[in-house]
Amino acid sequence: MKIDMNKRDSVIRMTGINPRTCMKCGKCSATCPSFDEMEYHPHQFISLVEAGRVDELMASESLYNCLACMACLERCPRGVEPAKFVEAVRNLKLREHGGNHLAPEAIPEMLDADLPQQAIVSAFRKYSK
């Protein structure tokens, strides 16, 4: 468990949200459509950022399993906006590694007829920063 307060502060600065306002109620995680696919759930993202354990989040596939549907924002009674934390950690990882998780030209071969358009738009937003 590596604690890096500089990364924590960077994520907080990117989101503009104080993670201590989270009361850990779990409403954001309860509404998350990717809940079963994620190692860390939305409320856990907030807790790990608050604790300075950003490296764990950066190493997790949960970072890319978030659909960026913003359902967690709607359910949060304190306005913490967990999706912004996921996006900030994702951006921090991209900045550190200097690349994208998925190249746009690789996306067409992954498409199928049942894939909703929202998933395609979300993929471009998530993977091409």
Domain CATH for 89: 1.10.1060.10
Q: Would residue 114 count as lying in a domain?
A: no
* Total number of domains in the chain: 1
For 16-54, the DSSP string reads T--GGG-----HHHHH-TTGGG-SS-HHHHHHHHHTT-H
Tens digit of pLDDT for each residue in 88-114?
998 888 888 766 556 667 777 777 777
Q: Tell me the per-residue pLDDT of 14-62, one tens digit each, with 9 for 90 and over.
A: 999 999 999 999 999 999 999 998 999 999 999 999 999 999 999 998 8
pTM for the complete prediction? 0.74
Does 127 score more than 70 pLDDT? no
Contact assessment for residue 14 and residue 5, using Cβ atoms and an 8 Å cutoff: no
* Contact criterion met (CB below 8 Å) for 36 and 23: no
Domain residues for the domain of 88 are 5-101
Q: Per the domain annotation, does 40 fall within a domain?
A: yes
Report the b/e string of 80-117 with b at 16+ CB within 10 A.
Answer: bbbbbbbbbbbebbbeeeeeebeeeeeeeeeeeeeeee
User: Is residue 110 situated within a structural domain?
Assistant: no
